[in-house]
Each structure stands twice: as structure tokens, then as C-alpha cells.
């Protein structure tokens, strides 16, 4: 059985979304694409909400959200109860997002020029495991801030 991922994007990240979806498929993921496929303007908070709702139906390993910068959609996602969305800028940050923060969502910007490929950041995240231990209590504290 393949692993599953959800991806959602606004008009500022159509090409990036397609690159990510293809990459995830090459890694054996079934990708549920809830994003847009053209440049017609949509609101990134709506896309974050759409992606999170599908993710919380269960059975998904990962949620990836994309907008022009990744900033707006990550802020919106982090307002949704249960989401821990990271906005990594390199592979180290992507790995730490999983190992230390147990992030369940990544955000990227279609208009950002990254120093490392987004696909490398995704691989670093996917190939990492949450370390638990002292990080578990910190994640619990973080999640209690939602209440």
C-alpha cells in the first residue's frame, strides 16, 4: 500500500506544486491534489483549510501547502487546530522540523529562489523521524497554546 500525501496551493505556486507532486509520486506516494492548476486568483487561507481538512480525514503521511512565498499559507495553516506547519529554507531546517518539532505540514513558496531544491528539503523531512524525548514535551507545550 502506497503512502499518501495531500498538497494544496494557490495561484502563486502552480509550477512548484506540480514539481512536488511529481517528486512525491516518484517516491511512492499517492498524491491528493487539492490545489489550483492555473493562475486565477484564489485565497491561500482557503487552500490551507482545504488541505488540512483532507489531511485530518486520516490515512495521510504528510500535508504540503504552497503559495507565493509560503508565508501566508503557513500562518493560515498554523491557525488550524492540530497543524504544525514548518516553512523550511534548507534541508537542515526541514530535517529539524520533523526530528524536533514533529511537524505534520510543510509550506513552500512558488516565488522564492531557494538555495537548495525544495525536493531535497522534502526528502530530508520524509527521511527523518521524530526524536521524542525532551522534544515531545516541547511539542505538547506548543500544541497547548492552541487552547
Measured in degrees and rounded to the nearest 5, phi and psi for residue 7 equal -135, 135
Task: Please provide the size of the chain in residues.
Answer: 147
CA–CA separation, 30 vs 7, rounded Å? 11
For residue 48, what is the enclosing H or E element? Answer: helix 44-55
The catalytic residue among 11, 66, 67, 105 is 67
Which residue carries 516541547 as its cell? 138
For the chain, the straight-line distance linking the first and the last C-alpha, in angstroms and rounded, comes to: 36
Q: How far apart are CA 16 and CA 35, in angstroms?
A: 11
Active site residue 105: no
> Any catalytic annotation for residue 100?
yes
Tell me the catalytic residues.
67, 100
Amino acid at each position: 500500500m502506497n503512502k499518501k500525501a495531500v498538497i494544496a496551493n494557490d495561484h502563486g505556486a502552480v509550477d512548484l506544486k506540480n514539481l512536488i507532486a511529481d517528486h512525491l509520486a516518484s517516491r511512492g506516494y499517492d498524491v491528493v491534489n487539492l490545489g489550483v492548476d492555473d493562475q486565477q486568483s484564489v485565497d491561500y487561507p482557503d487552500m490551507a483549510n482545504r488541505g488540512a481538512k483532507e489531511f485530518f480525514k486520516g490515512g495521510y503521511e504528510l500535508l504540503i501547502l504552497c503559495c507565493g512565498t509560503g508565508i501566508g499559507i503557513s500562518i493560515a495553516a498554523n491557525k488550524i487546530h492540530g497543524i504544525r506547519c514548518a516553512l523550511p529554507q534548507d534541508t537542515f531546517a526541514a530535517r529539524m522540523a520533523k526530528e524536533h518539532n514533529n511537524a505534520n505540514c510543510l509550506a513552500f513558496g512558488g516565488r522564492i529562489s531557494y538555495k537548495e531544491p525544495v525536493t531535497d528539503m522534502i526528502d530530508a523531512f520524509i527521511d527523518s523521524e521524530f526524536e521524542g524525548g525532551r522534544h515531545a514535551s516541547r511539542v505538547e507545550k506548543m500544541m497547548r497554546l492552541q487552547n
